[in-house]
Amino acid sequence: MPRAGAADVDRAVRAAAAAFRAWRRETPAGRGRALLRIADDIEADAERIARLLATETGNAIRRQARPEVASAADLFRYFGGVAGEAKGETVPLGRGLLNYTLREPIGVVGGIVPWNAPVQLASVKIAMALVTGNTLVLKAAEDAPLAVLEVAAICARHLPPGVLNVLTGYGTEAGAALLEHPGVDKLSFTGSTEVGRIVMRAAAERILPVSLELGGKSPVIVFPDADEDAVAAGVVDGMRFTRQGQSCTAGSRLLVHASVFDSFPARVTDAVSRLRMGDPLDERSDLGTVINQKQYDRVRGYIDDGLTCGARPLIGDLPAEAGPSDGFYIPPTVLTGVRPSWRVVREEIFGPVLVALPWHDEAEALRMANDTHYGLAAYVWSHDIGRALRTAHALDAGWVQVNRGLGQLPGMSYGGIKQSGLGREFSLEGALDGFTQRKTVTVDTHETPLPLG
């Protein structure tokens, strides 16, 4: 992979700045058409991109890589479809004044994405930035740049030169140079909260608008009436075990009513035991490998830490076992007997590790759920809709799912609160708020009052 440095970033930003002059004047319909064609081409080449994605990330082709590529096409199609919706407003300020707003592009966007869902996360940034008339310099993650480059190559067929520029390289080199480049007008970052802070500091230096999609440690509240196998299957989906738990929205803290704490976690482990771990390219595999040695060691370290503190594994590997032989496989792990203060309960593991804790009343469940500096996703499982909605409204999270454990869909505003981020993605409103700036125009129309009657 090319290891981009400051000089490459500079070339890319200059290209983006030059292309911005014409791209911002392209009609919204023209920009939308380009995105729709990109969607078609991604779909036509989906299998090849999905195989590459599975190969570079270790994500199972059937359960993750193929659906991820399909979701990238959906995102381009959604944003292509809403291209003409960047509307402003007129504001009634009284006779003689016409006041209206325009939604204008910001300029050159510097985007940085992580490795866990690289094609989807790159696609959402490309589509949102470009449809609103900006140009983009995007840095792919060093651990998963290949499939993103394929998407970039497809985009290049339908975009004028310089509108989209994709760099590969390390965060501390290419990433840092992008954050500091004076030609960048907006920063859009998806990744860890730790690096998010660095991005926000860089934005503060130059008063740049910034969007941050950061980490999570999302709670899953299970009420006693939801002690069912179908709910357990939903919890397994929500934990993103089929992505080895490497998801920012993983529902990784399972909070179960004490009256069903003997039965419900067992249902979850039963569902987990049916998942097949194996070669990511094998159609039978439900989950593959974690991304690399560093992540493998990190996740095993958390499991080890939990067990040393006294956690009991309901299902999962033990850290004493040998290291990776033919891949960084970590069996899905469910830990019980944990305390709210432990690291396995408080910190984002970003691996296939679910911790289960009991609660006794609704207030306690909410206290436990909200006892975190994160606020990305949350899950509520109950047949009592009043109770489920009351809980959903009281949770500190940017996205609460009730009786559903699957992923984001184009059109829904998605993003975090607290230290999980700033801004929203996946939706028209998110694109408008994050990638356009409002200009107000106030016109004195010199209207003289008409004679009454």
- Cβ 129 to ligand NAD shortest distance, Å: 15
Q: What region does 354 belong to: left with phi over 0, alpha with psi -120 to 50, or beta? A: beta
Q: Which is nearer to ligand NAD, 174 or 380 (CB)?
A: 174
Query: What gap in Å lies between CA 76 and CA 53, rounded to an integer?
Result: 18
Q: Which is nearer to ligand NAD, 41 or 213 (CB)?
A: 213
| DSSP of 64-132 | IIHHHHHHHHHHHHHHHHTGGG----EE---TTEEEEEEEEE-SEEEEE--SSSHHHHHHHHHHHHHHT
Active-site choice (150, 213, 348, 425) = 213
- Cβ 133 to ligand NAD shortest distance, Å: 23
Nearest to 285 by CA among 126, 29, 82, 59: 59
- What would the two tokens of residue 414 be? 């998605």
Q: Which residues pair with 98 in a beta bridge?
A: 443
Note whether 355 and 338 are within 8 A (CB): yes
Q: Which is nearer to ligand NAD, 242 or 336 (CB)?
A: 242
Q: Which is nearer to ligand NAD, 175 or 358 (CB)?
A: 175
- Cβ 326 to ligand NAD shortest distance, Å: 24
Alpha helices in 385-425 (DSSP H): 385-394
Q: List residues near ligand NAD by CB under 6 A.
A: 112-116, 121, 139, 141-142, 170-172, 175-176, 179, 190-192, 195, 198, 213-216, 248, 348, 350, 376, 416, 421
- Cβ 62 to ligand NAD shortest distance, Å: 21
- Cβ 354 to ligand NAD shortest distance, Å: 16
Q: Which is nearer to ligand NAD, 166 or 248 (CB)?
A: 248
In this structure, how many other beta carbons lie within 10 angstroms of the beta carbon of residue 85? 15
Q: Which is nearer to ligand NAD, 128 or 271 (CB)?
A: 128
- Cβ 142 to ligand NAD shortest distance, Å: 5
Q: Is 213 a catalytic residue?
A: yes
CA 172 vs CA 5, 21, 199, 215, 365: distances in Å: 9, 30, 11, 19, 40
Note whether 308 and 319 are within 8 A (CB): no
Q: Which residues pair with 428 in a beta bridge?
A: none
Catalytic residues: 213
